[in-house]
Amino acid sequence: MNGQPGNALWYRAARVQVQMYDPSWPERYAEEAELLTRALAGSLLAVEHVGSTAVPGLAAKPVIDILAAVQDFNEFPALVERLQKIGYTYTPESEADDPSRRVFRKGPEDLTRLRTHHLHVTEQGSDYWRRLVAFRDHLRANPEDAASYVTLKRELAARHAADPGRYTRDKRDFVREIERRATSPPPSPGQMSRAAATGRGQGWRHRK
């Protein structure tokens, strides 16, 4: 198998596929979370279903994104070994844009097929944890933004089906803006009045 750290083709070869929401995704997450809880007993502090498959009704790539929190990365080599035993491969290439996380992929050996799971490991209380959970919760609570995200993903999938890296990069501005809004403190009454008076605060909308 070519799924070794440093081999970017292992997880980038599969074409981008955005599918209709599958009601089985939460069940697939729950099964994997139970497996992770057993495999990382004593190290795993929290686990969450994140990403598009965690938002009911949202079209997505059929890859289950899982966010896991550990105390710190002091025992990371042992963590890698424990995850390898349940089918995960550590892919440090994925961390270039955010060194506060450690990323693992799980899935078939066939390089032309999508991974089945992405596991994002971060330290307890990290900003990365806060952002991913806030993004998921925002899309769950704001159908208009969720719909805009689906439109953007479908456009990018059609344009960059053979280039998953470009697909991900071109979503980044949308994701960062939603994360910013989702993690910002609520405006004070005075700020709300000023925003209404100036016509601001209408939110981000994707435009072609």
Half-sphere exposure of 127 (CA within 13 A, CB side): 8
155 pLDDT tier (thresholds 50, 70, 90): very high
CB 101 within 8 A of CB 128: yes
pTM, full prediction: 0.82
For every residue of 64-125, which 3-state class applies, written as one string? EEEEEEECCCCCHHHHHHHHHCCCCEECHHHHCCCCCEEEEEECCCCCCCCCCEEEEEEECC
Mean pLDDT in residue range 153-165? 92
Work out the end-to-end distance of the chain between its first and last CA atoms, rounded to an integer number of angstroms: 41
Could you read off the pLDDT of 45-55 as tens digits, one per residue?
999 999 999 99
What is the number of other CB atoms lying within 10 angstroms of the CB of residue 119? 25
Q: Say which amino acid occupies 58.
A: L
Could you read off the pLDDT of 83-111 as tens digits, one per residue?
999 999 999 988 877 889 999 999 987 76
Could you read off the pLDDT of 9-33 as tens digits, one per residue?
444 457 899 999 999 999 999 999 9
Q: How far is it, in rounded angstroms, from Cα 114 to Cα 22?
A: 16
What pLDDT is recorded for position 2? Answer: 37
What pLDDT is recorded for position 8? Answer: 44
